């Protein structure tokens, strides 16, 4: 699943991204202090991110899963922010940041919870944009 999540982040197919999540999944983007509930909200959020950062990509640095359905994806995220996101105007800043997605899955392999961690100072330094006030 970590590799599937990285591939889904690296494409503009928001429906494919959303299909990785359970209907009642919870997703938290700590950088933007945003929590999402449910597959449809997560799918729409991915669509908004890909519109604001059309070249967003996740390159796997490391990943693991456990027998009890937990997983972690450590990746390098890259992209160029060209549009508004979360109501904040885009600055066109290019970024390369380290990130980790920590999540839990159902026995069928759907993500039930996911929390993204990444370096806000690195993001702000590279893009000139502070994600949250």
The token pair that represents 66 in the structure block: 């456990």
Q: How many residues does the chain have?
A: 133
pLDDT on residue 130: 64
Closest-CA residue to 75 (of 56, 92, 94)? 56
pLDDT on residue 94: 84
pLDDT on residue 131: 60
pLDDT under 70: residue ranges of the chain: 86-92, 129-133
Q: What angle do CA 48, 50, 55 make, to 5 degrees?
A: 160
Closest-CA residue to 31 (of 122, 128, 108)? 122
CB 63 within 8 A of CB 71: yes
- CATH fold group of domain 2-127: Nuclear Transport Factor 2; Chain: A, (3.10.450)
Report CA Rg, the chain: 14
What are the residue boundaries of the structural domains of the chain, listed by start? Answer: 2-127
- Burial pattern 74-86, b for ≥16 Cβ within 10 A else e, equals bbebbbbbbeebe
Q: Which residues contact 125 (CB under 8 A, 6 or more apart)?
A: none
pLDDT on residue 79: 92
Q: What is the dihedral of CA 24, 8, 98, 44, to 10 degrees?
A: -50
- Distance between the two ends of the chain, CA-based, in angstroms? 33
């Amino acid at each position: 699943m970590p590799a599937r999540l990285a591939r889904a982040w690296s494409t503009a197919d928001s429906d494919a991204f959303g299909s990785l999540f359970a209907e009642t999944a919870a997703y938290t983007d700590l950088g933007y202090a945003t929590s999402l509930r449910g597959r449809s909200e997560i799918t729409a959020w991915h669509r908004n991110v890909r519109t604001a950062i059309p070249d967003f990509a996740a390159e796997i640095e490391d990943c693991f899963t456990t027998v009890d359905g937990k997983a972690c994806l450590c990746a390098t995220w890259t992209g160029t922010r060209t549009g508004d996101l979360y109501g904040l105007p885009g600055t066109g800043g290019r970024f390369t940041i380290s990130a980790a997605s920590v999540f839990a899955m159902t026995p069928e392999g759907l993500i039930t919870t996911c929390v993204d961690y990444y370096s806000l100072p690195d993001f702000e330094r590279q893009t000139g944009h502070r994600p949250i006030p």
